[in-house]
Amino acid sequence: MRKILILNGPNLNMLGTREPEIYGRATLDDIKTLCEQKAKALDMQVDFRQSNHEGTLVDWIQEAAKGRIFDGLIINAAAYTHTSIAIHDALRLLSVPIIEVHLSNPKKREKFRRFSYVGLVTKHVIAGHKEKGYEMALEKIWSLLSR
């Protein structure tokens, strides 16, 4: 069974109450459940994590690179998408497909959100589909791994 690591960055633990007009009303727990159900349907397993701390996200990526126990990574680095060279560099350690996902579409938001350090190392970006984007990311990972 394929194992997929799903990492979520800062403030995503506040989903459902944080700017629902931008991010939707689904909570992070709702998204986790959605991902677990989608993964099961695709005969995959997910390890779903969230941290507000850049270093923790880097540690998890490094663990994934060292342990080689994951077949793919989905990451919503949130605000770190636009600022974190450290996350960018950690992602470069991975040899598995990486999908960047965003609930909103950063390209249609403030100018400072339009550049992604994460996107420089991912295979695909899914943005603007709210929680459905996570399902789409799992489908994309599945298709990349099925080739």
pTM comes to 0.93
pLDDT of residue 112: 66
What's the pLDDT band for 38 if we cut at 50, 70, 90?
A: very high
Longest Cα–Cα distance in the chain: 41
Q: Is the pLDDT of residue 71 over 70?
A: yes
pLDDT of residue 61: 98
pLDDT of residue 24: 74
pLDDT digits (tens, 9 = 90+) for 84-121: 999 999 999 999 999 999 997 777 666 866 678 898 89
- Which amino acids are annotated catalytic? 23, 102
d(CA 52, CA 54): 7
pLDDT of residue 108: 66
Phi, psi of 140 (to 5 degrees): -65, -45
pLDDT of residue 111: 82
Which domains are present in the chain?
A: 2-145 (3.40.50.9100)
